[in-house]
Structure 1
Amino acid sequence: MTVTAQMVKELRDSTGAGMMDAKKALTETNGDMDAAVDWLRTKGLAKAAKKADRVAAEGLVGVAVADGRGVAVEINSETDFVAKNADFQSLVREVTKVALQTGDSVEVVRAADLNGKTVDEVIQESIARIGENMTLRRLHVLEGDTVVSYVHNAATDGMGKIGVLVALKGPADKAKEIGKQFAMHIAATSPLALSEGHLDPVVLERELAVQTAKALEENASSAKPKPDAVIHNNIIPGRMKRFLAENTLLGQAFVVNPDLTVEQAAKEAGVEITGYARVAVGEGVEKKAEDFAAEVAKMAQG
């Protein structure tokens, strides 16, 4: 596979690696971006890069909560200019309200009634009126005893670039108070999962493979190599423990009080976090040579 300058730039942007290192990583992995990230990490040339670091989309995430149910709805647009448009923001607000009342999937929301028309028909009318492609891309529903919402980089009330929902058990007043802090923490740290048990096994396997290869390579080039038992029983497990602490919500150091983990902070407040959702505009939309308009148009047609 031909390694293009755009691919090298994307890898550099997501990992901070040098140009030649990024090019070599892509060459060694036949242009596989995720494998190239792992190759760089094995060589100690990059930190873990999340897919969210490689997105190119505009639009807004709308959030709404009522009676132990919360929704986060992502509607994409071609440009940030339209995302600031009052008509577009009104569309996001209305669709989010519909989702809160009736939706459990994008398909259900698209077919739901909005002022006598389906949501999909309203979106199509907005496209014609505003003159830019847009699509209802994602919906996340979260339920719990208490559900708290937070919007980061808010464009207006209830919508912005990042929407967070947190579900908690415990006294409602305490849950709402500290739940907002937990939601802000999630917006800032973007954990991969609630706990180790909620992590995708594929992610764990991939991280273990990277840390194993890295530890063995470092040991092989060391002037004083350590016994294999030390590598496999101490160093690699230690690195995996650190990975879990950095990437699971309950294991992370709480941004409000780094002396406590999020789990410890929740216990001190007398609550338990039972779930969360973090939806960022464009998350998972890979950068491509084509512009985002084509991406949105493709999704809108589907």
Structure 2
Amino acid sequence: MAVTAADVKALRDRTGAGMMECKKALTECNGDADAAEKLLKEKGLAAVAKRAERATSEGRLFMRQTADKIYVVEMTSETDFVANNAEFVAMGEKLLDLTVSKGYTEVTQEHKDLLTEVATKFRENMSVAKVEVIDVPANAAGAYYVHSDNKTGAVVVVNGSNADDVKTFAKDCCLHIAAFTPSYLTKKDVPESYINEQKEIFQAQMDQDEKMASKPQNVKDGILQGKVNKHLAEICFEDQMFVKDDKKSVSAKLAETGKAVGATLSFATAKLYVLGK
């Protein structure tokens, strides 16, 4: 059976494969479009396996909130060209649909199989790198945020109230986390080994400062601890100055919001998401 240009174009539209590959597949399958599509998919799956070792440093974060949960899916690809493609984005939403409908809390084979649909078409190594589900209790306010680069995001859940003011505060905290990228929630979460390392660094800097030589040891100790405290305030979420009020810390705004709604608030979740981390 003769293969026409229209046949090749129709198969290309169905599969996304190259024109020459479509023509070759149709020729091998004697013009049977269904058989040619199957052949292309089989070849595509083989190609996907070969590409599995390629680095996937690009991609997107996808998030969605329901009444009592926030879902996070991370999809990776080799290039930002593919990551910004409409079909890649649509697949991310499909993966969210699957996660929500099936109640998945981690990456499953079903996620991987679904992703194969676009992986074979774009001829890039892709992966579902992360699937997470964060609970939002009945008496809590949850929020999420994905930055415009689609590579940075945050999820915050505040326990104690689901009042509108608390929901707004939770959303603002997501913006804060994405902007200031704190390493820890509170000072008590910082490993002692990290604090000791920072002390050594600050001590070495002070030892090289001639102005420090004449100061009493207790003064030096106070200066050293002050430097450590300042550093911790910069990397710990609750101690950072709030993104929408740089005169107050996050913890102070938490207390202020709680007072306004008549509740004692606390952070159940305050998490930063960065593609590939």
TM-score w.r.t. length of structure 1: 0.64
C-alpha distance in 1 between matches for 2:113 and 2:212: 68
Q: Deviations over 1:15-48 (max 9, x none)?
A: xxxxxxxxxxxxxxxxxxxxxxxxxxxxxxxxxx
Show the counterpart of 2:88: 88
Q: CA RMSD in A?
A: 2.1
CA contact (8 A) 2:212 2:220 kept: no
Show the counterpart of 2:214: 225
- Written as runs of structure 1 = structure 2, the 5 A alignment for 1:1-302 is 57-100=57-100, 102-105=103-106, 109-111=107-109, 118-144=110-136, 145-153=140-148, 160-172=150-162, 173-218=164-209, 221-222=210-211, 224-232=213-221, 234-270=222-258, 271-283=265-277
Aligned to 2:151, the other structure's residue is in SS state: strand
Name which one, 1 or 2, has greater alpha-carbon Rg: 2
C-alpha distance in 1 between matches for 2:133 and 2:207: 43
C-alpha distance in 2 between matches for 1:68 and 1:231: 51
C-alpha distance in 2 between matches for 1:199 and 1:223: 28
C-alpha change, 1:197 and 1:69, in structure 2 (3 Å) is: farther
Q: Residue type of the partner of 2:223?
A: I
CA contact (8 A) 2:155 2:272 kept: yes
1:224 positional shift: 4.5
Q: Residue type of the partner of 1:131?
A: R
1:183 positional shift: 0.7
Aligned to 2:75, the other structure's residue is in SS state: strand
Aligned to 2:148, the other structure's residue is in SS state: strand
Count of residues in Structure 1 that have an aligned counterpart in Structure 2:
211
Aligned to 2:71, the other structure's residue is in SS state: strand
Q: Residue type of the partner of 2:199?
A: L
CA contact (8 A) 1:162 1:278 kept: yes
Q: Residue type of the partner of 1:192?
A: S
C-alpha distance in 2 between matches for 1:176 and 1:223: 48
Q: Residue type of the partner of 1:197?
A: K
Q: Residue type of the partner of 2:158?
A: L
C-alpha distance in 1 between matches for 2:154 and 2:211: 45
Q: Any stretches of 5+ residues in structure 1 without a counterpart?
A: 1-55, 112-117, 155-159, 284-302
CA contact (8 A) 2:70 2:133 kept: yes
C-alpha distance in 1 between matches for 2:104 and 2:185: 24
Q: Any stretches of 5+ residues in structure 2 without a counterpart?
A: 1-55, 259-264
Identical amino acids, percent of aligned pairs: 25
1:77 positional shift: 0.9
C-alpha change, 1:163 and 1:224, in structure 2 (3 Å) is: closer
C-alpha distance in 1 between matches for 2:135 and 2:72: 12
CA contact (8 A) 2:206 2:212 kept: no
C-alpha distance in 1 between matches for 2:193 and 2:105: 26
1:227 positional shift: 2.6
1:146 positional shift: 2.3
TM-score w.r.t. length of structure 2: 0.70
CA contact (8 A) 2:184 2:236 kept: yes
1:161 positional shift: 1.9
CA contact (8 A) 1:72 1:279 kept: no
1:67 positional shift: 2.9
C-alpha change, 1:98 and 1:216, in structure 2 (3 Å) is: farther
C-alpha change, 1:206 and 1:93, in structure 2 (3 Å) is: farther
